[in-house]
Chains A and B, each alone.
Chain A
């Protein structure tokens, strides 16, 4: 407990109030065999003990590669999946346990922008209907004319022409569709928006437009974001704090400065070293850390530290004792490695 508050105190002093506290989040997907009588023979441990706090007005990035559990984490927070264990407390209420009316009220405060703009909008609904849907479901924003006004406001807010309110998604480009998705997420005036790879499916020059839009909306509306992505450059640009995930756990968490300039976990260092930098002159200086082996299966993760099978520092201790996500000597931000230490020249 004290570790986390300690980390928050050492991090940027301008962090707002904590608004979402996630503790011990776990999601196992059972693996079954048999058709008539299904026997459970194991679990895919997609998320295996995740703790973090989101503060008002901040953007918390969650990065990791495929299979790390970040998408599952998003689904758990949005209650698309039910957690195996853990709590996610917002405004005194636990998102994980909420039901019925309480869950509906919570949904108004926590919304999501999905990754693929080509499949996240119902092709047979106009964008006006798509954006109005949350208003209709929750009975807010008045009726008919008042609602339409609100939808037009939202279209304008995300940089689209309100006159296009009766068009269908296929008449828009990918970047524009993503804006519609953002407008939909904003309709209920949420406090938290979970962005699940919101720009990965877009062209490079369009990514910048959407990123700028997200930042502008955050400043104007006081939103807090959980920004899930695999593109570390984008994450660095938009996030205040970053959590790095590997095989269902957070291995390192800290401010953007701490993670990108003073990373202490070997996986984070390897990840950062692998990102290509758009500067040909940096070629000579770059030291890419090559990881050996493949990512282990989440159905059968290694004992102790999950990264140990690919880590160049691994010892027996790593197999016996799971390293906790606590502050380390090398740098005062939480890092789950017994041998946490800084490395220089990762970013060329």
Chain B
């Protein structure tokens, strides 16, 4: 199998049997709660998605949608307390990470699945040099000597196009610009040639020209190393550029899941439709933006039925009482009672456009 040629197979992370339908990474019906003094926030409510080798899955959502929490659950870095996984499985190569032993999980985390965070400045340790941090994992996991570790660090820094890599081994994170720091994080994430990279809003804090460079870099690297990527973001532009498939999240659920071209051309959920209509586009100066009225729900008190119904232009009675199942529309899914009608363009709005 092609994918194994890039991962370092070790005794303590024995992959499960390849059962045909098995994906590289699969999140299966995950439930996560945050128990706070103000109540229990249901942050993830039955999320399922999968990732195959080499592909890019975008998890799209706004704040409060739960997109980052799934990544934290996969990496096992969920803050517990107050966060608790209350159901579901996370299968990596067939093995459930949630029930695996701590040593199994550590073998996977960072080595087979790694993560890039949004803010490199706070994710990097300010008191260690960049070279030391990049080579740290290599020294610990692969037993490289300090000298070899630094050599590999130079290779990695060159791989991510950091100019003057050798001289900058001894530099500290704060001496780099934002874009360069992000490259350092990418170098660290790729150090052990993982099969999966999770990028959690990797470019949100960066300028747009730097963002383009970083996304290009990620694209090049993934192609070279055949790494699969989960891209977590709220930016519809970035997603259109790089994703193969998109899972749209709202109130802790995946409300639509489709191939990127299909999603943008014909969204099958009112929330996706609303999002696409509300963004100003560079290539087309439109009139007044069509907004999604109201606010995302309070997760300690999610509305009954479809969580989006209070804000939905097409709401009908069934939406208020019954949680919509994820309808299979042939290679794509949508959690809307009227997804088929929406897709066919036959769904009439039941509410006027708001004035503001």
Q: Do A and B bind each other?
A: yes
Look across to chain A and name the residue whose beta carbon is closest to the beta carbon of B293. Answer: A209
Look across to chain A and name the residue whose beta carbon is closest to the beta carbon of B295. Answer: A173
Q: Is the Cβ of A276 less than 8 Å from the Cβ of B241?
A: yes
Q: Is the Cβ of A237 less than 8 Å from the Cβ of B62?
A: no
8 Å CB contact of A294 from B180, B289, B290: B180
Q: Is the Cβ of A204 less than 8 Å from the Cβ of B280?
A: no
Residues of B within 8 A of A280 (CB): 240-241, 243, 260-261, 264
Partner-binding segment picked from A17-25, A81-89, A283-291, A322-330: A283-291
A15 beta carbon closer than 8 Å to chain B = no
A196 beta carbon closer than 8 Å to chain B = no
Count A-B contacts at CB 8 Å.
137
Q: 1/0 contact trace for A86-128 toward B, CB 8 Å?
A: 0000000000000000000000000000000000000000000
B282 beta carbon closer than 8 Å to chain A = yes
A232 beta carbon closer than 8 Å to chain B = yes
Q: How far is the CA of A34 from the CA of B200 in the complex (A)?
A: 42
Residues of A within 8 A of B238 (CB): 276
8 Å CB contact of B282 from A204, A215, A277: A277
Residues of B within 8 A of A270 (CB): 209
A165 beta carbon closer than 8 Å to chain B = no
A212 beta carbon closer than 8 Å to chain B = yes
Q: How far is the CA of A175 from the CA of B291 in the complex (A)?
A: 13
B87 beta carbon closer than 8 Å to chain A = no
For chain B, give the interface size range.
35 or more
B321 beta carbon closer than 8 Å to chain A = no
B356 beta carbon closer than 8 Å to chain A = yes
Q: Is the Cβ of A205 less than 8 Å from the Cβ of B209?
A: no
Q: Is the Cβ of B62 less than 8 Å from the Cβ of A277?
A: no
Q: A205-B274, A237-B285 in contact; A65/B293 too (CB < 8 A)?
A: no
Q: Is the Cβ of A233 less than 8 Å from the Cβ of B280?
A: yes
Q: Is the Cβ of A275 less than 8 Å from the Cβ of B295?
A: no
Q: A204-B275, A205-B292 in contact; A65/B208 too (CB < 8 A)?
A: yes
Look across to chain A and name the residue whose beta carbon is closest to the beta carbon of B285. Answer: A236
Which residues of B274-289 have CB atoms within 8 Å of chain A's CB atoms? 274-276, 278-283, 285-286, 288-289
Q: Is the Cβ of A233 less than 8 Å from the Cβ of B237?
A: yes
A252 beta carbon closer than 8 Å to chain B = no
Q: How far is the CA of A279 from the CA of B283 in the complex (A)?
A: 10
Q: How far is the CA of A216 from the CA of B281 in the complex (A)?
A: 19
Q: Is the Cβ of B280 less than 8 Å from the Cβ of A211?
A: yes
Look across to chain A and name the residue whose beta carbon is closest to the beta carbon of B235. Answer: A276
Q: 1/0 contact trace for A206-226 toward B, CB 8 Å?
A: 111101110110000000000
A311 beta carbon closer than 8 Å to chain B = no
Q: Is the Cβ of B211 less than 8 Å from the Cβ of A278?
A: no
Q: How far is the CA of A256 from the CA of B280 in the complex (A)?
A: 14
Q: Is the Cβ of B62 less than 8 Å from the Cβ of A279?
A: no
Q: 1/0 contact trace for A227-242 toward B, CB 8 Å?
A: 0001111101110000
Q: How far is the CA of A290 from the CA of B292 in the complex (A)?
A: 35
A348 beta carbon closer than 8 Å to chain B = yes
- Distance between A235 CB and nearest chain B CB, rounded to angstroms: 8
With A206-B295, A231-B208 given, can you name 6 additional A-B contacts, CB distance below 8 Å?
A203-B63, A208-B291, A236-B282, A276-B235, A280-B260, A294-B180
The 7 closest A-B pairs by CB, nearest first: A276-B237, A237-B280, A274-B212, A208-B278, A65-B207, A208-B289, A203-B62
A sample of 23 inter-chain contacts (CB < 8 A) reads A66-B178, A203-B296, A205-B274, A205-B278, A206-B295, A209-B293, A212-B288, A212-B356, A230-B207, A232-B282, A233-B280, A238-B280, A273-B212, A276-B215, A276-B235, A277-B241, A277-B282, A277-B283, A279-B281, A283-B241, A294-B179, A347-B283, A348-B283
Residues of B at the A interface (CB closer than 8 Å) are 62-63, 177-180, 207-213, 215-216, 234-241, 243, 260-261, 264-265, 274-276, 278-283, 285-286, 288-293, 295-296, 356
